[in-house]
Amino acid sequence: MQTSAKIGCFAVAPGEVHLLAGTMGGEILSVAIDDFTISDRLRPHLGAIEAVAAHPRLPFWAAMGMDRQVSLIERGTDGRLRLVDRFSFRDTPCRNDPVPVPPTQSLSQALTFHPYEPRLAVRSGASGVLEMDFAAGRLGVRHCTRFHGDIDLVTLRYVEDGAALLSAAGGHAVLSRDGVELKSWTLGDFNLHWFEPLGDEEYLVACDELYVIRLDLKGRRPPLRGHRLTRDDLEHVTFNPVSGRAFAAGFDGQVYEIDPATGDWRGHAWRAPYKMRWIRTLERAPDTLIAHCFNGGLYKVDLATGATAAVLKDTPDTVWSSVRHGDSLWFAGEGSGVRRMTLGPADPVTGAVPLVPDRLCAKPPGHGASFAKRIAMATGPDGQPELLLAQKNGALLALPAPGTPNARARTVMTLDEELRDLAVMPGGDQALVCTEAGRVYRIDTHQGTIEAAYANALREPIWSLAHHPGLGLVAFAERRGELVIAEADTLSPVMRWGRTSRPKRMKWCGDRLIHVQTGELLRFDPRTGRSDPYVGECGNTIEDFIWDAAQRYLVLVNYRTELVLCDFATGAKLSVVPDQADFSKGLAWLDRPGDPAAYPLEFITYGRSGTAHRFRIHNERLLALGPVAPALLRDMP
């Protein structure tokens, strides 16, 4: 498991000398904040750790793992760690459930310590609020109560000096005491991720609806919703009582300074290399920011200069995209290079097609710190094949295929907005890109000029696009907004459909467009202007989907690290299996039509693990065959 050391969360101890980080491999790391070195490590869990917490007064840490356990760890003044107790909350029932409710998988971060007592609260296996005491060194249940119906519990915090608990699921917040609901608020339709104390029982609330809410538990004023801040889920907010400054961060990879009175934007504080969740500034050094990124890194940042002072990261570079050209399969993502893997002759017994790695092809200098969101095959000015990379930092890059004489990697152009998706038009010298700023461009890749442009009125991020050469159309979709069908040459809209939701991928199949609608697939027919259901709800956002050349099967991968095999004609689900341990971002077939020994229905998944895993469709089920390389975007021996 290449991402075992990936950091997924952190918390800072009182005194701010040490922090605790939790990893995907179930380890906790005690880190000295000043020199950012690991003082001690311990593996209390057999699954990814989604949340850690520090007791404000007692020498204890707590960690919550995907193995549905909570652990209690003693912390020494020197940073040493000792496991005190561990409790499995998988089957702990909610006392107010009329019937047993089975446990569910969750990415909840609901874990909090009482401010004074040896007590903590955590999400139960079935999304209840579980309070536990540990006065005798053993974790014991006080109560487990359901407050949020069948919605997954996301976050918890002790409030009112420990007299009550504040919990949230979806946009629903509940104030409770000893398992009794005192008050509730409906603050929106999407997840509330964090309650950050401002003092006097007022809190800043991080909300997936892209803004911060100020909530007064005493009811002196109604909840105040700030203006829209981020371009993707807003995951965390932090307030420093010494400096009086507040910051917010989320999936758009930006740290924003906000006005703690209103939640509104004050300025950009730091641009992270990747999407984010946990952030914290130090009270003893208010210009020091500790930030967690989903690439598994922990960063110490000087806010006064914007410089990154230290990094703790031990994970492979994420693979974001691939493109097939003959028997070559190219992978791009984080890092300074692109990897080619060659599909070799199939094994005559197993039918497996081997993937033989070639050397890394370097991006133009200065682009290794960003990552390629999409890769596509194009034609260079010399008529030879070249690779186009749409980078998160707004750069459109061109890399020559290996063996092209006298060719160099080049920057086609740089836009002042993050690129999201990419398609190449027939002829290979015209590219279509969409951006996080709500624009679509047609770019002449030889001249480096914009030939046509589209912009939506609200600058809603456009997440995906798909070109149909035969119809001369391009489809693109906003994060939450409209699906637009436009003329590919002029980008003039010809029809619209809404309302879209997290449309991470779209692809034309014949004259119909298959597109993601969060956890579903829909099929849009331009003749009727309507999208109809295709594949039903898959539990979380669909990251990618592919179908075989004979159109027998469709495979998709989702944000639950699951692979789903479907009947292509009907969309009916045939098989659901675990994918890799970390989130995949793409799929690619390993077929070789000219090789009679090759099994026709093998494919790979790739993504944040940094490698690719092989699967086979067999007996109408998905069979896992294992990884194909240790790390695709790092140099191999």
User: Using one digit for the tens of pLDDT, what is the confidence trace for 290-316?
Assistant: 999 999 999 999 999 999 999 999 999
Residues 87 and 187 in one domain: yes
Tell me what percent of the chain is helix, strand and coil, each rounded to the nearest 5: 0, 55, 45
Count of other CB atoms within 10 angstroms of residue 25: 18
User: For residue 330, is it within any domain?
Assistant: yes
User: For residue 101, is it within any domain?
Assistant: yes
Structural domain count, the chain: 3
pLDDT at residue 404 in the model: 66
Angstrom distance (rounded) from CA 330 to CA 376: 9
User: For residue 574, is it within any domain?
Assistant: no
Tens of pLDDT, residues 254-291? 999 999 999 999 999 999 988 999 999 999 999 999 99
Phi, psi of 162 (to 5 degrees): 90, 0
CA atoms within 13 A on the CB side of 414: 10
Residues 27 and 154 in one domain: no
User: For residue 498, is it within any domain?
Assistant: yes
Residues 473 and 335 in one domain: yes
- Calculate the average pLDDT of the chain: 95
Residues 369 and 282 in one domain: no
User: For residue 437, is it within any domain?
Assistant: yes
User: For residue 480, is it within any domain?
Assistant: yes
Q: CB-based contacts of 189: which residues, under 8 Å, 6+ apart?
A: 170, 171, 209
Residues 271 and 420 in one domain: no
pLDDT at residue 401 in the model: 80
pLDDT at 405 over 90: no
Residues 28 and 161 in one domain: no
The residue ranges of DSSP E strands in 326-478, in sequence order, are 328-333, 337-343, 355-362, 372-379, 385-391, 395-400, 410-414, 419-424, 430-435, 439-444, 449-455, 462-468, 473-478
pLDDT at residue 142 in the model: 97
Task: Show which of 293, 312, 331 is a domain's final residue.
Answer: 312
Angstrom distance (rounded) from CA 112 to CA 121: 5
pLDDT at 637 over 80: no
Angstrom distance (rounded) from CA 79 to CA 330: 44
Residues 368 and 279 in one domain: no
Q: Listing from the earlier edge strand, what are the strands of the sheet with 212-216? A: 192-199, 202-207, 212-216, 224-225
User: For residue 563, is it within any domain?
Assistant: no
Kindly report the CATH number assigned to the domain that includes residue 67. Answer: 2.40.10
Residues 243 and 262 in one domain: yes
> In the structure encoding, which two tokens stand for residue 284, read together?
């003893």
pLDDT at 367 over 90: no
Task: Show which of 273, 297, 312 is a domain's final residue.
Answer: 312
Better-predicted residue by pLDDT, 283 or 407:
283
Q: What is the mean pLDDT of residues 5-22?
A: 97
Tens of pLDDT, residues 163-183? 999 999 999 999 999 999 999
Instruction: Quickly state the pLDDT bin for 92 (edges 50, 70, 90).
Output: very high
Bridge partners (DSSP) of residue 566 are 554, 573
Residues 445 and 422 in one domain: yes
Quote the radius of gyration of the chain (alpha carbons, Å): 25
Angstrom distance (rounded) from CA 587 to CA 606: 7
User: For residue 564, is it within any domain?
Assistant: no
pLDDT at residue 630 in the model: 80
Residues 307 and 325 in one domain: no
Residues 359 and 418 in one domain: yes
Residues 301 and 420 in one domain: no
Tens of pLDDT, residues 528-550? 999 999 999 999 999 999 999 99
State which residues form the domain around 233. 79-312
Kindly report the CATH number assigned to the domain that includes residue 275. Answer: 2.130.10.10
Task: Show which of 506, 526, 542 is a domain's final residue.
Answer: 542
